[in-house]
A and B are shown apart, each in its own frame.
Chain A
Amino acid sequence: MDLLLTHFWELTITGLAIGAVYSLVALGYTLVYGVLRLINFAHSEVFMWGSFAAVWVLMAAGAGKASGLGLAGYLILGLVAAMAVSAIVALLLEFVAYRPLRKRNSPPLIALISAIGASFTLSELMGLRDKPLKWFNASGLQDYLGRPRENLPFPLQVETKRLFYVFNYHVSNIDVIVLVSAIVMMVILDQFIKRSRLGRGIRAVAQDPEAAALMGVNRDRVIRLTFLIGGLMAGAAAMMYLLKIGVTRYNAGFILGVKAFTAAVLGGIGNLRGALLGGFILGVAENYGSALFGSNWKDVVAFVLLVVILLFRPTGLLGESLGKARA
């Protein structure tokens, strides 16, 4: 209790930083849910693949200790790699695991099975990445592909710098990078959905797919677009995650995915701003929970919070509304 009071701002700000990662991943769940009414269970693996892309690219680029312009260059390189790979994986996922089902008008739960299958497949592929080493005798790739079930460290070392105070907490450069870029990303996305033609298409399909089709919106294109955006955001999240946590792993997506999905539901699934709010609340609540009850109880705090909020607001904090609130 004392700790919560004396270190309130530290707990809040570090919580917001991890919350930002939850939010960015949650966007992927929310967008797909809004358009397809589908829990994209494999979205967590989209995130995981992005994180590996960033690590590999930076390893290949020889990143190590960096600061100033060099650091910025590496950050952008990693970000681009992660976003690109995540987007590609997300599109592939849609193409292989969901589109065939949609074409056959399958019952909704079967999509969940396909998603679970895709999730297993994607994470196991990464967990078996050492197999090519044996086939091709590519020992030069040992650092990239070896010990596939282990943590793979993020090569870029960002020295922690304390920038300014928020009350009694000395905010670090990593907190700032993570928070600012997450918020910028989300503002851009929000404006895109709100103002652009493509964004209007997404909202139209979310509101009423059939009417949208009648109005000339290409539903398949809109769906691809939502997966693409979700993938890009997951890639960005992967980069932030690496900065904050420092390693990735073949199953890194699973728990994070559960958290992000929780965040999406907390804010109101299908609602972009809800995902943002849900992620931040979850991140902060976990930290407060750690301070109050011990870190081993923080997940319990997070889930209890979810259940309590859903009891009083059955559609999440901000309600579901990618198009607008549905009855």
Chain B
Amino acid sequence: MSTVSTTLHRVGDRFRSLPRPAKLALAVLAVLLVYLLPIINPPLITTTDSDFGAVLFSCAMYALVAIGLNIVIGYAGLLDLGYIGFFAVGAFTVGVLGSQHGKLPLLLCIPAAMAVTMVSGVLLGAPTLRVRGDYLAIVTLGFGEIIRLVLVNTNWLGASRGISNIPSPPSIDLFGVPHLVWNGAVASIDLGNETRFLQFSVTDSIPFYWLTLTIVLVVLFLDWLMQNSRVGRAWEATREDEDAAELMGVPTFRFKLLAFATGAAIGGLSGALFATKQAFINPDNFTIIYSVLFVAMVVVGGQGNRWGVVLAAALLTWAPEKFRFLSDARFLLFGMALMALAIFRPQGLLPPRRTVRAKQADEETEVLEEGVAHA
């Protein structure tokens, strides 16, 4: 497994050392390939028991979740075990405004969902972020459960019936894209099965996948801008040593709150996308186990590395669908895989570069210290 990620890192290095136009061309090609995945249906990757477009949509949606949670855990170092709460708030904001108590169009619902989750992030964060470390974990876990239980028990929010008929994004029907079917290694074009560009309907998840993927790319870009700004450095300082950061004049509390609220807003955005794709939500979708899975995505990916968490989120969503034929045993295998990963690859699949560097620095210091001790 470690060879895989060193290879990946090496690919990354190669990529970085390329001249600009080549870089651009390659990036565009890769992105295009990802967009076309559900059309191409690559034999080994496609899922046989569940619709591939729907699975890819879930992958993209959870990737977005992981990017948001990565800001909270990876950048700011705050263990949030209740992230599903924000996801739920986002989804239900869309449900309430778009179907249950209003008929707002989706394009208004989504920003509203982000705003509401951001506010709920601040409301939860302001009192609780003063609590340190593991206490925060249990407080957030409690928050996630409170949200779910309130959803189950509040008639105004649909209670356990949930909310149906959530609006879809506006469609513009331009042209059809026929899918490929594979027979062994030979691909052929299936004209009887096409995806309309860009028609959002319950029977075809692919347009939702494209929409979500686009949002993921935009958020990744913003995430990159943010991490390389003053804010990103302040988060890192806070994570590594809160007291030192405070002494150096970083208002750590405010930055933690910012991370929390930003993460919450992204969680809300993914919840909103989930709601519109499903067209139906109920509180069963927001159980505590998802919060645990989200944390697993971030840590497995290598907390702090945005590509790592995206990869892990996609992998952890895709694998249970791909290996459906294992039926009951797949959760057992999932558990064992997590343990194996923790033991053999403790830094995650793709540790962030900074950690690799920091680790080398640590090792060097250790060598130096020992050298002094021996002398």
Contact = CB atoms under 8 A, between A and B. Distances in A.
Q: Does a CB–CB distance below 8 Å link A and B in the complex?
A: yes
Contact of B141 (A110, A113, A117, A258): A258
A104 B295 contact: no
B342 A114 contact: yes
Contacts of A119: 335
B341 A118 contact: no
Contacts of A294: 153
Contact of B145 (A121, A299, A315): A299
Interface string A250-267: 000000001001100100
A106 B302 CA distance: 12
Interface of B: 73, 79, 127-128, 130-132, 134-135, 137-139, 141-143, 145-146, 149-150, 152-153, 288, 292, 295-296, 299-300, 303, 328-329, 331-332, 334-343, 346-348
A120 B145 contact: no
A37 B339 CA distance: 19
Contact of B332 (A104, A107, A120): A120
A118 B335 contact: yes
A33 B134 contact: yes
Interface string A88-131: 00000000110011001011011111101111111011011000
Contacts of A97: 339, 342-343
A306 B342 contact: no
A262 B300 CA distance: 26
Given A113-B299, A303-B145, A304-B146, A39 B342 contact: no
27 contacts: A37-B134, A97-B343, A101-B346, A106-B342, A106-B346, A107-B347, A109-B73, A109-B299, A109-B303, A112-B295, A113-B296, A114-B338, A114-B342, A116-B295, A116-B296, A116-B338, A117-B339, A120-B331, A120-B338, A121-B332, A121-B339, A265-B135, A296-B152, A300-B153, A304-B142, A315-B135, A316-B135
Interface string A276-316: 00000000000000000010110110011011001100111
Nearest to B152: A296
Given A128-B328, A306-B138, A120 B334 contact: yes
Nearest to A117: B338
A114 B135 contact: no
Nearest to B334: A120
B231 to A, nearest CB: 22
B127 A311 contact: yes
A240 interface: no
Given A300-B149, A306-B142, A110 B339 contact: no
B314 to A, nearest CB: 17
Contacts of A110: 299, 342, 346-348
Given A121-B335, A125-B332, A296 B153 contact: yes
Nearest to A100: B343
Contacts of B328: 127-128
Interface of A: 33, 37, 39, 96-97, 100-101, 104, 106-107, 109-114, 116-122, 124-125, 127-128, 258, 261-262, 265, 269, 294, 296-297, 299-300, 303-304, 306-307, 310-311, 314-316
A262 B130 contact: no
B131 A117 contact: no
Contacts of A314: 130-132, 135
A9 B337 CA distance: 49
A314 B331 CA distance: 36
Contacts of B296: 113, 116
B142 A101 contact: no
A109 B79 contact: yes
Nearest to B73: A109
Given A112-B299, A114-B339, A124 B332 contact: yes
Given A97-B339, A265-B138, A307-B142, 12 more contacts: A100-B343, A104-B346, A106-B346, A107-B347, A113-B299, A116-B296, A265-B135, A300-B149, A304-B146, A306-B138, A310-B128, A310-B139
Give the top 6 A-B pairs by smallest Cβ distance, nearest first.
A120-B335, A117-B338, A303-B142, A114-B342, A106-B346, A117-B339
